Chains A and B, each alone.
Chain A
Amino acid sequence: MTLTSAPPTPPRPKRRAGDRIFAGSATGSGILILLVLAGVAIFLIAEAWPAITAQAADLPGGHTLTAYIGPLVFGTLIASVIALLVATPLAVAIALYITYYAPRRLAAGMGYVIDLLAAIPSVVYGFWGIAALAPALVPLYGWLEDNLGFIPFFAGPASATGRTMLTVGLVLAVMILPIISAISREVFSQAPALHREAALALGATRWEMIRMAVLPYGKSGVIGGAMLGLGRALGETMAVAIVLSGSGGITFNLISSSNPSTIAANIALQFPESTGLAVNTLIASGLALFVITMAVNMLARWIVNRRADFSGAN
């Protein structure tokens, strides 16, 4: 640090003890964060190692580790993808409504209300999902089975409790909606005013202005926001643990009562009663979840940050 000497170097100020301590502890905290992130990976690997090296017969269920984690990964992915498919269009529409359609005076309040959705604890979403949403969806599932049963997703038999993969996907969609809409709102409101006004001045309607000046500008922001939402949905635990009745193996049937569980929900449900190698197996599945979410998040951040670098706004 002392070796960096840009040409116009001002005379080096006297370093007091207070300065050194303060700078040192600030830098130390920053480095501590790097260590924590590395520590998460290292300790998870250390505790997962016995399960990775163990014989298949010793693991819970008597399968190999991949056979144990496989259905869980599948369940995690399918629930998150449903959530993403439902939440993204809705979130973009909400963001557009708040930034360009809502009455100016109400817009801030509406944004605050949507943000409240993000503040509600996930265990409460689970309560709501099992008590309000799941029963409300049962008739819909019956209808889907009767009329769209030829599509593998809705093959049935429809669950009588509504605690299905599709319900979980919808609960997750509600949970990630505020994340995606918050980021979309931010990028939409940053769309250059000159472009917007130019479009309007040339006689574009409001939708044409949005399509030509706002959406192209906000596209990568929306994609990044959606991926952040995906990251949240992948790791969501309590709502899934409460709502889903997960028992079966891999299946694309979204409305029946046998569903693959998700990694996070499986850990939450099994962990308190597990001992010995079962704990290591669960931690190994947690490691898989960690790797998946890290990859998704890094990609998302990369996309969002790339937009910041290229946008004309800064």
Chain B
Amino acid sequence: MSTQTPSAPAPVTEHPGPVRSHRRLPRFAATGVYLAGLVLGALLSAVTGFSVALTVVYGAVLGTLAVWLTSRAVEGRRKSTDRLVTAIVTTAFAIAMVPLVSLVYTVLDNGLRRFDGTFFNSSMLGVVGEGGGAYHAILGTVIITLLTTVISVPIGLLTAIYLVEYGTGRLKRAITFLVDVMTGIPSIVAGLFAFALFALFFGPGIRLGVMGAVALSVLMIPVVVRSSEEVLKLVPNELREASYALGVPKWRTIVKVVIPTAIAGLGTGVTLAVARVIGETAPLLVTVGIINGTNLNPFEGRMATLPVFAFYQLTQPGFPPELAIERAWTAALVLIMLVMALNVVARLISRFFAPKTGR
């Protein structure tokens, strides 16, 4: 491949002119010129009727152009191209921040209205207009997610152990490849799979909490395998060899040496995998459905879950719609908070339970 032979000498032949380092813009000049362009953009949008979106568009274009032209006049072509790319790349990063900020603001703005005790204390049983909450849905989500974790973690962890400690040859390669491919299964297809599996045995129309757990496991197992595999690979081979040298059998080496060394990483991986599946909606929509009352038994009848609850409150709000839509937003807010909390927990696990061996 071409990377083997460094293409570094190219600039000499391609751009015979040197960078004119003696003529340079002062340190903060580029930023200043860019900001001046932004102000110009704001003025331009003010002329045509002020709007934030137009300000940003005009400002970004004008700011980038201003930087490019100034640098081109002072520093020459090559340096100005460099400045141009810097401006574009920085602008792109700023653009990517817009949806994140807008999303968090929208959810907080709409979700905090019903973020009260009633929301966490009551189910939707018999609720027509005001009041009502997601008590049943929050418990349903917790139960189904726990069940998913109980199914996925042993299978995922053992598969990772197989891949790192035992696997050889074609089977290992096949499993690695298929686990990668499995990460890409659309969540709705996982839901349909669980439905098809249970429908064959219990007839169509079946809806159970455990079906949802099976569907989510299909999504969660590959994530657990990938992260556990990465972590187990990091365990230094010297530890294993030292253990073997002491006559410890392989399985005890894995249980007593390898896993304790990697436990922080494993915990982080599992937490992040839980965070990934806790917000899944589509598979639960087709396998678990929704009810208004509280059902805590995943082996009998429909259950309510937080994402599905949010979806139905938004799309089928009934009358008057505002109240249900407010509940939907609060459910979305709770969902985001759950996911963020799990992400933070994952970070904390990896910080506080890091192995004591100085890697």
Contact = CB atoms under 8 A, between A and B. Distances in A.
A297 interface: yes
Interface in B3-34: 3-4, 6-12, 15, 18-19
B249 interface: yes
Interface string A88-99: 011001101110
B113 interface: no
A208 interface: yes
- Secondary structure at chain A's binding surface: helix, strand, loop or mixed? helix
Given A23-B251, A46-B200, A203 B18 contact: yes
A100 B82 CA distance: 13
Given A29-B155, A94-B96, A97-B92, A213 B6 contact: yes
A30 B159 contact: yes
A289 B188 CA distance: 9
Interface stretch (A152-160, A190-198, A249-257): A190-198
B213 interface: no
Interface stretch (B124-132, B160-168, B235-243, B351-359): B160-168
Interface in A290-311: 290, 293-294, 296-298, 300-301, 305, 310-311
A47 B196 contact: yes
B286 A235 contact: no
A212 interface: yes
Given A94-B96, A174-B99, A207-B82, A238 B281 contact: yes
Interface in B305-330: 307, 310-311, 314-315, 328-329
B171 interface: yes
Contact of B307 (A31, A34, A116, A121): A121
Contacts, number: 312
Contacts of B103: 120, 124-125, 128, 132
A121 B339 contact: yes
A296 to B, nearest CB: 8
B348 interface: no
Given A47-B200, A121-B339, A264-B186, A22 B218 contact: no
B1 A37 contact: no
A272 B3 contact: no
Contacts of B279: 120-124
Interface stretch (A56-64, A161-169, A226-234): A226-234
Interface residues of A, number: 109
Contact of B281 (A29, A94, A237): A237
Contacts of B158: 25-26, 28-30
Interface in A10-31: 16, 18-19, 21-23, 25-31
B159 A33 contact: yes
Nearest to B78: A205
A117 B159 contact: no
B8 A202 contact: yes
A293 B285 contact: no
A195 B254 CA distance: 40
Given A47-B200, A207-B86, A216-B3, A30 B280 contact: no
Interface string A61-90: 000000000000000000000000000011
A34 B311 contact: no
B343 interface: yes
A239 B321 CA distance: 20
Contacts of B96: 90, 94, 114, 117, 177, 181
Interface in B272-309: 275-276, 278-282, 285-286, 289, 307
Contacts of B120: none
Contacts of B278: 121
Contacts of A130: 314
A33 B182 contact: yes
Nearest to A291: B189
A28 B155 CA distance: 9
Contacts of A312: 1, 3-4
A93 B88 contact: yes
B218 A123 contact: no
A206 B188 contact: no
Contact of A27 (B162, B222, B336): B162
Nearest to B161: A26
Contacts of B311: 123, 126, 238, 241-242
Contact of A121 (B18, B156, B192, B335): B335
A43 B343 contact: no
Among A46, A93, A96, A195, the most chain B Cβ lie within 10 Å of the Cβ of: A93
Interface of A: 4, 16, 18-19, 21-23, 25-34, 36-37, 39-40, 43-44, 46-47, 89-90, 93-94, 96-98, 101-102, 110, 113-114, 116-117, 119-128, 130-133, 136, 140, 174, 177, 181, 192, 194-195, 198-199, 202-208, 210, 212-213, 216-217, 228, 231-232, 234-238, 241-242, 264, 267-268, 271-272, 275-276, 279, 282-283, 286, 289-290, 293-294, 296-298, 300-301, 305, 310-312
The 5 closest A-B pairs by CB, nearest first: A235-B186, A121-B279, A93-B92, A297-B184, A22-B251
7 contacts: A23-B166, A23-B251, A207-B82, A207-B86, A235-B188, A238-B311, A300-B184
Given A22-B250, A30-B175, 9 more contacts: A21-B251, A36-B182, A43-B196, A116-B100, A123-B281, A124-B107, A133-B99, A286-B189, A311-B3
